[in-house]
Amino acid sequence: MAEQEASGLQVLLHTLQTSSDKESILTILKVLGDLLSVGTDRRIHYMISKGGSEALLQTLVDTARTAPPDYDILLPLFRLLAKVGLRDKKIGQKALELEALDVTLILARKNLSHGQNLLHCLWALRVFASSVSMGAMLGINGAMELLFKVITPYTRKRTRAIRAATEVLAALLKSKSNSRRAVNRGYVTSLLRLHQDWHGHDTANTYVHVRRGLLLCLRHIASLQSGREAFLAAQGMEILFNTTQNCLDDKSMEPVISVVLQILRRCYPKSPLPLVTASSAYAFPVPGSITSEPPHDLLEEDFEDDGEEEVDKDSDSEDGKVEDDDLETDVDKLSSKPGLDRPEEELKQYEAMCPELSCSSEELESKPGDDLNPEKTEFANHHHILTAAFSKQHCFNKDQSSCGQEREDAVRSSLLCMVKTGRSTAYPGSKRKPVVNPYQNMQSNHLGRDSSESEIPDIQDSPKVAAWDIDAIFCQRMGASFSNPSRTGETVKVIDKLLQTHLKRVPFHDPYLYMSKARRTSSVVDFKMMAFPDLWGHCPPPATQPMLERKCGVQRIRIFEDIRRLIQPSDVISKVVFSLDEPWPLQDGASNCLKFFSKFESGNLRKAIQVREFEYDLLVNADVNSTQHQQWFYFRVSGMQAAIPYRFNIINCEKPNSQFNYGMQPTLYSVKEALLGRPTWIRTGYEICYYENHYRQSRAAAGGVSGKCYYTLSFAVSFPHNEDVCYLAYHYPYTYTALMTHLDILEKSVNLKEVYFRQDVLCQTLGGNPCPLVTITAMPESNSNEHLEQFRHRPYQVITARVHPGESNASWVMKGTLEFLVSSDPVARLLRENFIFKIIPMLNPDGVINGNHRCSLSGEDLNRQWLSPSAHLQPTIYHAKGLLYHLSSIGRSPVVFCDFHGHSQKKNVFLYGCSIKETLWQAGCTVGTSILEDVNYRTLPKILDKLAPAFTMSSCSFLVEKSRASTARVVVWREIGVSRSYTMESSYCGCNQGPYQGLQFGTRELEEMGAMFCLGLLILELKSASCSHQLLAQAATLLSAEEEALDQHLQRCSSRSGSIPLELEDEPACMEEVVYSTDSRSEQERNLSELDRRIQECAFNKDEGEEEEEAPGQGGEAIP
């Protein structure tokens, strides 16, 4: 009965094992081969499920044990076994149990002189060795010794068997025990000699795969410390480096060069960074903290070099591809609303920050803060809080009109005219024309024209000093220059003359006011200088710059240059030319090297080392009171020659990958260009790559985890002028002083009869800087009670930014938001008349001031402190949360809360929100009917997807992760109950979709996004069920001339018009893969599929072109 029910396949397999008739066996093997050679792998997997592998292995053992072994059966049997074994993950274990492992080894030994038989045995061994444990077993049984008898120096005979042998050996060496055995037996030297021999003789690159196989063996051995030591002792670095230098541009050598690179990177001796300590060069005494032991110097034993690739744990990029095990699946934690984290009576102190809720018409008409002295008024509970408004300083500028009550001149067309067209709010109607180099048409005689085509006087017509002297004199803090009376008059004259002859007016900026504000900015090391770009101002370039096209081979050239330094150290200058850790001056004025400086607000450069005449290794400073978070850089460089390619290698970056690998460029500001009327930060640099280097973090720096990697950002820059002063930065800088200057100018620019603009101090930071709180709304229509009530009952919108100091793009987005909200745009007017905006434009002033990338002065990531912030250690977060608590306690929770951030690893602009159901669905959990959720959290991102050229819905995510439980987005959602609580991420790079596709963000595009966000808030209100008829009527009037926009944005239905765009991948495929690991599953799959192809070819083609030395008998004895 069982035989009757058996399938045809099972009958064939049973007959194969029991038959002793040669013709029957060959027929069955042919039928099975034909069945499995067509169709998909499903047939093979079905055969495996029916015991096919066991049947083939048993037939192999039985046939091999006959006298003599019949190779007419064994060869097709080996081919079929290899084909099936490639898909059977347990093939090695099955072969061991059925003794096929030993049988195949014996057959291989008996056929060393018969290439065709040996080749088939090797194919089977390759499949068996796919399992590391079976590879170890083969190693114990002498397989490696056998293979070294097959792998000979260069020959044109039996090359297919030699190639197969190298691949089997590489598979065996994945076993650490086999690799140790290979080291102990001196195989590293043997493999290097074989590689040299084949490389030297194979001039036509005919046998690239043999050479690659030998290198794969070395790569696996190099996974062991002892293997790397043996490789270095055998001068492996020099051998591989020298053998590849003449073939880097040969595409046929790509399989060899890629493995060589992996070996060289793996074997490059790991070392600590060239720093005296892992801790920041700056230290700040945190109140109440216990003084820790001084950080020790980095020692060899502090790091190991076998560490796995690190995950970017402290990234706030909140990548949408969240690991499921990080998703919060506890429904109680997702849905419950925790109680207050402080006594309820403390919330009364925040009433002073919301005077709009209770003030009279007379109080509204008086200027906020005119009669308040912050030094005399303080709150009893928390010393960080000052009064409701801090004193305003008038401009130093003799022409008060530049920052007085007048509106800025920039003419804006209605924001609605620019929706999703790619037209900027600052330059209406202008089309995006990508510019490769905004400095390419510079005049050599230093004469130029500003954007208004007026001639700019020669720089040297000003006080006869060089550009760096202008920068040094002009950028001293006013307090520093005025402290020396002998220089005061000269300095003021220089400043006045420069401003009169060279200053191009920058909207919402005033250098005199900036200098005044800078004197009040408190830094850890008391900066004495100001950066010229921050003082002089920045105007966006006339056109957006395209992403840099990455050339293939850039990364490998840099890696080979790193190797060259190791093996040819005499070529390296290795001269320290700048260091925050060295008290004495390191730069000789007569020396032929660049001059560096970073001790100014937001500056970050710790050390500069001249490597070659035009190449420098740079190290950025860790965050204050931290040993980590090296990413942001901002420094001054001078003494350059024009049109000379200078290379900068920032060697202690921490993030595992960067948009610098995908088209992003650093930013540059030239003092001479600014004096010529072009005060502009531009994207610059070429031959850019970002890759893992040989430096390792100490255990102390890595929080006890050893082996964490550092990464190098390498880029070349050709400066526009000789003897210029230039500034280089990770992204467009935006300082705390720039913000305070901007807020004062904004306040003076508004029409006080129409716009309610109030500056308050949320609190004092640890460093003693006021954290500004801005309130923007419309003044009441009249003094009537009805209008005053409408004024007081407007719903709130709360926006924050810059909790992470290195995310300067968030400040540019915020700048666009602030300027739009006080503008005369009809959309802005409607927003002011219907909402009260509470804005905290910079949550981490201390971090911004001191050049941190991520943390505050306490060395903490403030966006991980929202669950239970401390009033003394995290005052800005404590009081921001307290303000939100206060609004919630009086029934005035914001309609939307949004925290502006920057994203280092994705393109475009997008939102992260919170959803219980989406989180549970993603985690594969059952979503009960008792879970109720307002789905309107998706409405705003959908609106922005329609409105903003830079925004994309496809990158948005609404998952709640355990690792984000203490972030602003999640805490405001859970504890304050704001369903529309978001993080808005703006890429450091640019867009890969929409009107800006292929372009890098400039400050104009970022500011535009801030304005578009405001428009999105208005459309959100218009689409809500609670929208008043009056607002709808006003919006209809506003849009009456824009019928298309009216039809698009005033639809009250929930469905979206048009089709949903296909989800875009985060990154397109790069021309050159950024590889950090030395092995990967995809590579194994490629190797096995290649083996499958060769087996298939062998079934139909006889080996031609190879001379086989056939011995009589072909291994005729039976195997015992």
Tell me the catalytic residues: 985
Q: Does an H or E element contain 596, and which?
A: strand 595-597
Burial of 1058 (0-12, 13-18, 19+ CB in 10 A): exposed
C-beta neighbour count of 1022 within 10 angstroms: 21
Phi first, then psi: give them for residue 669, nearest 5 degrees: -130, 125
* Cα end-to-end span (Å), the chain: 37
Side-chain half-sphere CA neighbours of 44 within 13 A = 19
Query: Rounded CA gap, 654 and 629, in Å?
Result: 7
Would you say 381 and 496 are in contact if contact means Cβ atoms under 8 Å apart? no
Would you say 908 and 875 are in contact if contact means Cβ atoms under 8 Å apart? no
| Encoded tokens for 975 | 């504890």
Amino acid symbol at 378: E
Query: 811-845 in b/e burial notation, b at 16+ Cβ within 10 A?
Result: bbbbbbbbbbbbbebbbbbbbbbbbbbbbbbbbbb
- Cβ neighbors of 132 (< 8 A, separation 6 or more) are 174, 175
CA-based nearest residue to 762, from 773, 750, 747: 773
Amino acid symbol at 1002: G
For 131-150, the DSSP string reads SHHHHHHHHHTTHHHHHHHH
| Encoded tokens for 702 | 């890595």
CA-based nearest residue to 984, from 909, 914, 919, 915: 909
Would you say 85 and 45 are in contact if contact means Cβ atoms under 8 Å apart? no
Torsion of Cα atoms, 1077 then 1078 then 1082 then 1087, to 10°: 170
| Encoded tokens for 823 | 């503008």
Torsional sign, CA 141, 145, 151, 157 = negative
Q: Does an H or E element contain 796, and which?
A: strand 796-801
For 779-794, the DSSP string reads PPSSSSHHHHHHHHTP
Amino acid symbol at 468: W
Query: 773-797 in b/e burial notation, b at 16+ Cβ within 10 A?
Result: bbbbbbbbeeeeeeebebbeebebb
Query: Rounded CA gap, 557 and 717, in Å?
Result: 17
CA-based nearest residue to 257, from 269, 248, 266, 267: 248
For 194-261, list the strands marked E by DSSP. none
Would you say 643 and 636 are in contact if contact means Cβ atoms under 8 Å apart? no
Query: Rounded CA gap, 370 and 362, in Å?
Result: 14
Strands 615-619 and 645-653: parallel
Name the H helices within 923-996.
939-947, 968-971
For 703-782, list the strands marked E by DSSP. 709-718, 725-729, 755-764, 770-778
| Encoded tokens for 826 | 């009809």
Would you say 675 and 664 are in contact if contact means Cβ atoms under 8 Å apart? no
Burial of 1081 (0-12, 13-18, 19+ CB in 10 A): exposed
| Encoded tokens for 453 | 């085509």
CA-based nearest residue to 986, from 908, 1044, 1067, 1047: 908
Would you say 175 and 144 are in contact if contact means Cβ atoms under 8 Å apart? no
Residues in the chain: 1120
